[in-house]
Amino acid sequence: MRYRYYMHYAEGSLMSPIQVQLIMNALKNGPVPFFIKPITGFITDKVSAEFLDQELRTHFRFLEDQLASALEEGPFLCDSRLTAADIHMSIPVLAALNLCIIPRKEYPRLDAYAAEIQNSQGYRRAVEKVVNVEGKPFVPI
């Protein structure tokens, strides 16, 4: 059940607020005329303060708790070995951590989980394939 849940949770619940935060960051830091900059800054700050910050905290606190409960079985969400659910979850988790949407120090289990995924043999093989196909170094988000 955990496997199926996380296969859908990554895209169905978690990725949406991350995408909205990325859009807000692009609006706030984008090239706009200087007289419009305060307006875009006000709007993005308001959306973040009223919605996104709490939404992201809720999701990442939930994942911290889930990782704590999964530690008895192994370092991953569903098992002692890497599953497709972990790979699926790695996309929003790595995006949130690497783009500083969430602070690593507030979510130490998520940070360790991301490192565990990136250090796994399966993940490294997948990265090698991406590098071979694209011909350039792979940068996770």
Give the CATH number of the domain where residue 59 resides.
1.20.1050.10
Compute the average pLDDT of residues 50-63: 94
Compute the average pLDDT of residues 75-89: 88
Residue 118: which H helix or E strand, with range?
helix 108-119
Residue 104 has a pLDDT of 92
Q: Is residue 90 part of a domain?
A: yes
- Sorting pLDDT into bands at 50, 70 and 90, what band is 109? very high
The rounded Cα 72 to chain-centroid distance in angstroms is: 23
Residue 119 has a pLDDT of 92
The number of C-alpha atoms within 13 Å of 127 and in the hemisphere containing its C-beta is 15
Is residue 107 over pLDDT 90?
yes
88, 9 Cβ separation under 8 angstroms: no
Distances (CA, A) of 82 to 2, 24, 118: 13, 33, 10
Residue 71 has a pLDDT of 72
Count up the domains in the chain and report the number.
1
Residue with tokens 């308001």: 46
- Sorting pLDDT into bands at 50, 70 and 90, what band is 138? confident
Average pLDDT along the chain: 90
Q: Which of 59, 55, 71, 74 is nearest to 6 (CA)?
A: 59
Residue 113 has a pLDDT of 94
Q: Is residue 128 part of a domain?
A: yes
Three-state DSSP class for residue 80: coil
Residue 80 has a pLDDT of 84
Q: What share of the chain has pLDDT > 70, as a percent?
A: 100
> The domain containing residue 72 runs over which residues?
1-134
Q: Is residue 140 part of a domain?
A: no
- d(C-alpha 45, C-alpha 54), whole Å: 13
